[in-house]
Structure 1
Amino acid sequence: MNGDRVIGGYALRRLLGRGGMGEVHLAATPTGGLAAVKVIKPALARDPAFRRRFEREVAAARRVARFCTAPVLDAGIDGDVAYLVTEYVKGPDLAEAVRDQGPLSGSNLEALAVGIATALSAIHGAGVIHRDLKPSNVLLSPLGPRVIDFGIAQLVDNDSLASQAILGTPAFMAPEQVRGEPLTPAADVFAWGGVIAYAGTGRLPFGGGAPGEVLYRIMQEGPRLDGLDEGIRDVVARALAKDARLRPTAQGLLAELVGGTRLTTATEVVERTWTGTVTSGVRSSAGRPGGMSAEAQSSARPSEARSGGGQGRERAMRPTGLVAPTGGPVDSPLRGPMGAPAPVPGSVGGAAGPGRGRWWPWVAGAAATVLAVGAALAVPGLWQETLWPYEAGFGDAWAVGASEGGNARQAGTGYELTVNPGWRLWKSAPRREPDTGVIVSAKATLAEGTGEYGVWCHGSASSGDRYEFGVSGSGKVTIVKRRTGTRGRPLYGPANAQGAAVNRIVAECGRSGNKVTLRMWLNERLVAEASDSDSPYGPDEAGVYAASGPTDPARVRFDSFALRPVGQ
């Protein structure tokens, strides 16, 4: 047990495991959920070069599509402690599952192969190379396989002890990795072949023994694939080619697994993996007809298709707003059209019927992923637009540029608002709120000047309406309802709270009957509660804001931002 130890606002509950870079803990999030927190060894965290690589790799990891990984929720460096927060995935890893239940075969193995290949496609599509794909880095969640720890291996210099620990699984190294050559995504494809061979036979494809012996066999001998299902053996053999140029890409693996002559359609994979019939009458895991998830149903509503017709997936510059010294909102020259997410297939679930071999409870979700991949192999772009929670990398869809009230700009992996004296800037996230209520969170710093900053929800850039949750430089918190042409109506505060140099602000906009309920946390402490039943605002947009004092400008840096449905 970790007692009340808190890192980055996350309360550590128990140790999940140790590795070459540090420890992984189960932790409680500010809103009561669970997350996995990787705490990096202090010796690494103190290294300036490691810090630079850490920031770069975290930014890259945030770009990876979420549906087949353990997505990055937060990251930071606090003194000698660097930490990485990911979604907590419940379930054993592949190594444990094969050890405890034996090898996979038939449709179970095919579903696993497709799920991992899909994850690699998403990882490579974000410009990341995993570098350490192995059975212990594949978690078998109830909804399908999740690939974890992608990109982490390149955080450490190749000649360091930590790097040797990270890359210390010789059985799945590609020959070029053994030779110490610069890696490409083809190294991950080689590792995929080794992982699937292990999953289907229970043996390491190049045998065990001393690391040097295993590495020699990887370089000089062919893999042992006898006992592997004939249908998938040829794909695995091509993935394990010594010459990286002869291996298929991750997208090529998917095409072979779901679109070749052996498996004519992705639906066949679904039907062979999950013995229920895939029809419009099947209920999704959320209990909705038609096999469509709540997120997919929400995104398909006409009211959200603001761009019209087939333009739903267009990523346009989002609206932004600012408030003049009189308190009334003013249109910003940065305002542009609004994009809306495109509908995508959801997850399919149901009762397991009798099937051949052992029943693996996660394969129904994995098969649903196959169905989506069969419809569109451009996996990363499709899924990043639609699944919750949304987390900002403050990329191209956040508005940047100067206006009368100040300036918005990218600042490394963060986002900075510089506000002229007496003005208020507010920026919309490139994602609409869920209909079920929203949790908005951000980590921010008042870098210069005086004033306040925070997050807002249930807003509209076109009208200027919104609920603001703010903290001032002096540590006072407020919840304010703002309308066009008004100075805003305080619903809570100003009240004293225990602020810090870097503050984590979490806000909840929910609904109870005919009123909106509002709650605010500051650095994991509930500091404000209010409600609004006077023509309350509904779900629309959310974002960040900053306001300066009357005489001096203010500069606020936001290092993270996230939206998630209430209760998720």
Structure 2
Amino acid sequence: MSDQVIGGYALRRVLGRGGMGEVHLAKTPTGGLAAVKVIRPELARDPAFRRRFEREVAAARRVARFCTAPVLDAGLDGDVAYLVTEYVKGPDLAQAVRDQGPLSGGNLDALAVGIATALSAIHAAGVIHRDLKPSNVLLSPLGPRVIDFGIAQLVGTDTSQAILGTPAFMAPEQARGETVGPFTDVFAWGGVIAFAGTGRLPFGGGSPGEVIHRITHEGPHLDGLDGGVRGLVEQALAKDPRSRPSVSRLLAELLGGGQVSPASATEAVERTWTVPLSTSDLRPSREQDGEVFPDSGWAGDVRHAQDDQALPGGWGRAGGDAGPLMPSDGGAARQGQVGPDGQWRPSLGSGPVPGRPADVQAGSFQGSAGGGRADSGGRSRRKLGWVVGGVLAVALAGAGVAAAANALGAETWPYESDFGDAWEVGASEAGTAERDGSGYVLAVEDGWRLWKSAPRREPGGGVVVSARAGLVDGAGEYGVWCRGASGDRYEFAVGGGQVTIVKRRAGQEGVVLYGPEKAESAATDRIVAECAGDGGAVTLRMWLNEHLVAEATDAREPFGPGLAGVHAAPEAGKAVRVRFESFALRPVRG
């Protein structure tokens, strides 16, 4: 089955099995990754099931992407029915709780917000999930993703026929075969959060009949559930649907009051999510089939200046021995500051490419040390509200205290920036970097590549780098990068309707680890990159506007933790201006 092609999707390996069939990791026709649900043949041949399957697809296509795994494609290939969704890398909630124990504090709050956000998107499309349970919540590096609308029904259709769902998380009206609605999913939300926070089923185990009896006649067991969410869970598990809060009220309570958009809630979850993945998710990705990416065929001869104060990689030949010897930033290679730990804190700068393609460059060092944003503590439930405030308007009253803490070496996470905290500004031959209100603009000249680092080193083990950015003028690519040192880095770029992941070494041609592949861009893109793993291999993943669009593994002399930042480069013969609206770093917990 692993070599089978269905609807143009090459099935690679089985991710899971369920009552309706198998879910496979698959290669898309354009070279990306997706999850393909292949329906059991006996079901797919049933005309009644085909009608239900068509209804599922129509319903799922209407659901927005917020905290869900969006449907990408569906169809019939002979007697085989299939449904294609975005591939979500990570364990399901049931597995995570079983392997690592219950969630608490900010992670439990983030889970509660994420699932409620997904339900908000599902209900806005006129759909009821009807089977929300821990195994239908995947824990991605960016936060929870609700999947599987396999028994969803449209609001307004006959919802009182079959009793569908999983008994342990059924609402009383669902168990009795009565009319269901969004309030039914709210009950399931309460059960899922109770399980996540305690590791126990809220109505216990046993036969389906015993569980259903407790659901309809007894109260839930919530001992040990975090106090920040317990009150809302109790309300959600009310026997009477009219006594349960709406999803919008759940979100308002969890996020500290007020109306919050699904996009802001999703971003808040991503910025506070620190749930560790299972160890299998941090190993080298099998999707690369053990391929080792070769070094570039072009031998860029980088030579250091004969000066005992020159920084490594500060000067280099752009085109080997034939190229002119030049400072990579127009002569500012020795600029920088000593950080609070006594170490030099450079930031990667720009690279010239006279006579060479735009991906040939040498590094420069112009950075400075500085402080990052931090949350000021308090109850974990308020933490999510604080983050949403930062998403909606990057203005933190405690910035001075946070900067002072960082100056003393007490780094706090996540690091979020409005580019006012020691990000480099100024001009060089390559272009300019300047602040624009709460944004940061890179203007890059033809034939150059410009990259700037955040005034904060990456955490050890792994990092998630995110930014919002868009073209202001010209044409080219832009994005974020990680694991930078002496001109080396991994770049994640979007431009021209394509995405790429490139490994760059100072003075050498970049090695493409993924792409270029087509991806849907927007006027302002949210770009998220994950760099995880140490030692033998580094796993690299890229999301564009909430979609996982690229994944690669580097097992050939991978880079270790270093600096991270933003970058831009124009198309050949053109210049480009890119505005970055936000930037953030957070650790990958493994």
TM-score, normalised with respect to structure 1? 0.50
